[in-house]
Structure 1
Amino acid sequence: MRRGIGRWATASVALLLAVGIAGCGGEERPPSEVAADLPSEVPVEVAADQPTEAPPAVEAMGVAPSTKPSPSATPKSSPKPKPTRTSTGPLTKPKPPTETKVPPPPPKPVDSDCKPSYRGTKATTSQVKAALSDAAAKTYWPTSAPDIKIPLKLVKATAWQESGWQSNIVACDGGIGLMQVMPGTATWMNQRFGQSYDINDYRDNAFLGANYLAWLTKYIGDMYFGDEPPEMRYRLDASLCTGELNSCLLNAVISAYNYGHGAVAREGKPIAIPNPQYVYNVRELMNTCECLSY
């Protein structure tokens, strides 16, 4: 959840490498850091509302399953059509942000020789799985943006990239726990949403991380997809992404979780993705992380 640091990931297939630790100025730690290769060629950009041939590092990630009924199914009525975009992608000149109170900026990079520390008891895999599932199931904007849903795959992959699902890890820059939440960000979110999440409790830590993803979804969605109806404005579907990293909300939210909202959503400017490798890593983990089978 902050800038200039290493991350955890998995090694389920050839594209995926061994897990490394988040939080210490880009330093490699045993096991090794994710380093998924970027595509050697940039695919031709197409409209964001059309199915695309994704680049090698993100092919077939998160595409929605078929909604066609099985041959034996006999529905009484036709399924409701899925909403489609009215535009071809994010606005190049975004709307003014709807949120005026924003999280604190990410910390500065730390000494690359720093080692993470551990405190407290590490939660079991089953405990972590339950905590992340509960966090993904919650509606964080029940009144103003109830259409926002944070995919469970995104929550699981982010936690794996950030900490390797280690609930008791503390990074050198201060990031804490499963979702590597910064103390200042936790304080801000508790005030913004009237909560009292404990950053050191693995369950609350999961809610804090998912809550931050939800806040980023609304903040960036309103700015760059504000011309879309709510059911489209906040969609984190991989199928809406083209070969350009700044083509969809999903990539922007992943990038901002790591680099801060201000580096991605800039007033009067198109979406920026300052950390493409991090985005590729999380997108790959959303499809192939061993944590998905837990």
Structure 2
Amino acid sequence: MGSGWRRVVPAVTVGLLLATVGVGCADPESPPPGAAAPVDLVTEPPAEQPVEEPAGVERMGSAPSVAPSATAAATPTRKPRPTRTATAPRRIPKPPTETKVPPPPKKPAPGCTPTRRGDKATRAQVKAALTDAAGRVYWPTSAPDIRIPLELLKATAWQESGWQSDIVACDGGIGLMQVMPDTATWMNQRFGQSYDVDDYRDNAYLGATYLAWLTKYIGDMYFDSDYTLNPDLCDGLTSCLLNVVIAAYNVGHQAVAREGEPLTVPNPRYVENVRALMTGCECLAY
């Protein structure tokens, strides 16, 4: 969901700054994201099962603590790169298929300190919400093959909020996926939903919905409607749909995909952080 964001720090750092949060649904350093007919989303998620809150509270945006063994460090193994099957991005994009787009992001107020509101969901509750969101089909009619990988949702939520559902960022980003209020309103109108940005489950759906919207919007313009979000297809920052969707979640679609211009990634460190978290985040084990 496009929105104002936060500064990015290396993924291996113990603390990811909350100030960088924005929404993806988000957009930070630059601005974020229907001609297509509205589509229905899947049914509401099953009732959560209560799970005991783990001891301790991680800091907002804390990065995964990955400590490779001496053996692994001494004998690194590399997975062979598969033969590329997706189309490379167009240099000159097709006109966008969606003419109604999310509002631009807002910049955080100077000197602001992030706040908290509402109850904080447990890690088990967050995991269940993200898993459910990843299993949904967001474009059942025009693009039923679009799926948001669970590891992408988990990594984005960790980068954005450290899986803390009660965080409100200085730019207005809310909760788990740091969804901007204006972006949440836009997404609800676009998809005919009534998700509550303050509810951690709905927040997860809004974040995934925004990622799905970005996937279709950018995929139609630059990748000839190939919606593959496969990291193995990435040979550079703008070489694959996955990287540019991650970038747009942070800074908004307007900063990444412009009519008549090639793709650009103005926030490479954010993309690198999320990509690293997709395979090295401690949250993947929750």
Q: Partner residue of 1:189? A: 187
Residues 1-294 of structure 1: pairs in structure 2 closer than 5 A: 1-6=2-7, 16-23=12-19, 84-85=85-86, 87=87, 89-111=88-110, 113-226=111-224, 230=225, 233-242=226-235, 244-294=236-286
Greater RCO between the two (CA within 8 Å, min separation 6)? 2
- Cα distance in 1, alignment partners of residues 165 and 131 from structure 2: 15
Q: Secondary structure at the match of 1:286?
A: helix
CA contact (8 A) 1:8 1:162 kept: no
Q: Secondary structure at the match of 1:255?
A: helix
CA contact (8 A) 1:7 1:33 kept: no
CA contact (8 A) 2:157 2:163 kept: yes
Gaps in structure 1 of 5+ consecutive residues: 11-15, 35-58, 65-81
CA contact (8 A) 2:90 2:223 kept: yes
Closer, same or farther: CA 238–60 of 1 in aligned 2, 3 Å: farther
Q: Secondary structure at the match of 1:246?
A: coil
- CA apart distance, 1:224: 0.2
Q: Secondary structure at the match of 1:245?
A: coil
- Cα distance in 1, alignment partners of residues 9 and 190 from structure 2: 29
Q: Secondary structure at the match of 1:179?
A: coil
Q: Partner residue of 1:44? A: none
Question: Highest CA radius of gyration, 1 or 2?
Answer: 1
Percent identity, please: 63
- CA apart distance, 1:114: 1.6
- CA apart distance, 1:286: 0.2
Which letter does structure 1 place at the counterpart of 2:212? A
CA contact (8 A) 1:186 1:199 kept: yes
Gaps in structure 2 of 5+ consecutive residues: 22-27, 29-58, 64-76
Which letter does structure 1 place at the counterpart of 2:234? C
CA contact (8 A) 1:140 1:146 kept: yes
- Cα distance in 2, alignment partners of residues 122 and 170 from structure 1: 12
Closer, same or farther: CA 123–60 of 1 in aligned 2, 3 Å: farther
Closer, same or farther: CA 133–156 of 1 in aligned 2, 3 Å: same
Which letter does structure 2 place at the counterpart of 1:2? S
Q: TM-score, normalised by structure 1?
A: 0.75
Q: How many residues align?
A: 237
- Cα distance in 2, alignment partners of residues 92 and 24 from structure 1: 30
Q: TM-score, normalised by structure 2?
A: 0.77
Q: What stretches of structure 1 move > 2 A for 4+ residues in a row?
A: 1-4, 6-10, 19-26, 30-34, 82-85
- CA apart distance, 1:110: 2.9
